[in-house]
Amino acid sequence: KMAAKYRKMLKFGLEADAIRHSMEKDQVDEKIMRVVLGDGAGSSSSTAVESKAPKKQNKGSNDLTKEEQALVTQYKRLLKLQIPKDQVESRMRHEGAGEKVINCVLGIRPGRKGADDQLGNLSKGSSKLVSLHWTPLSGDQLDNSVFKAAKGLRSEDADPSKLVELFQKKKPKASMPKHGGSEDSSSLSSKARLLDLNRSNNVAISLKAYKDFSYAELADIIKYLDPS
């Protein structure tokens, strides 16, 4: 009778794990469990939990191929060079990196708000590198540009120290004062200027308008202004 009860549960579409848990709760004999669920029913529920554990591990970086792991290492070097995450992400998408690679490099982000806050903090902080700006191109714009041939090329591994040397901020060299320094600067500031900067710009605009006139038009204008 007990076996018939649990067989009805199987017919109703209940999962075997749920039925096994119910039978263990009701302290059903192991022989009846084997009759209802088969030979594998004698295993405890802990084995079911262990069988599910590897599935969670496969969701990590273990399921990446060797090429994807090499890409992850390459892009993580850029993050170590303090290049902003949005620029690294733009480059990864531009070079056709998969979502697995992007998530492994930047982390799985449920929303953009947290990432934007991190980018804002990075931009506010001090960096030894020169800030670069570029406009990302969409796929159609890239196909119609001169960079179409370079789309499939993979960037070579670069030495991080050389990249830092190329793109680091250069300190301005202190200029040495010439011939007394302060006296020369004061003499330059004391020089009289013929025209103010705004007035000189207005004069240049007016002269540009006169250059556009032909000689005949200038003659007509002079006759109009001075009929004598």
In a domain, 136, yes or no: no
Instruction: Dihedral sign for Cα 89, 94, 98, 101, please.
Output: negative
User: What are phi and psi for residue 124, nearest 5 degrees?
Assistant: -75, -30
Instruction: Dihedral sign for Cα 39, 45, 48, 54, please.
Output: negative
In a domain, 98, yes or no: no
In a domain, 31, yes or no: yes
In a domain, 94, yes or no: no
* pLDDT tens by residue, the chain, 228 residues: 677 777 777 777 777 777 788 788 877 888 888 887 775 554 444 444 444 444 444 445 557 788 888 888 888 887 877 778 888 888 888 888 888 888 888 876 544 444 445 545 545 555 666 666 666 666 677 677 776 766 565 656 666 677 677 777 676 666 555 555 555 555 555 555 666 777 777 777 777 777 777 788 777 777 777 766
Alpha-carbon distance 96 to 150, whole Å? 12
What amino acid occupies position 37? L
Domain that holds residue 11: 2-57
In a domain, 143, yes or no: no
In a domain, 20, yes or no: yes
In a domain, 28, yes or no: yes
In a domain, 13, yes or no: yes
Tokens of 147: 């960079």
DSSP label at 155? P
Number of independent structural domains in the chain? 1
Taking the model in full, what pTM does it have? 0.26
* Residue 228 CA, distance from chain mean position: 73
Roughly what angle, to the nearest 10 degrees, separates helices 16-25 and 30-37? 160
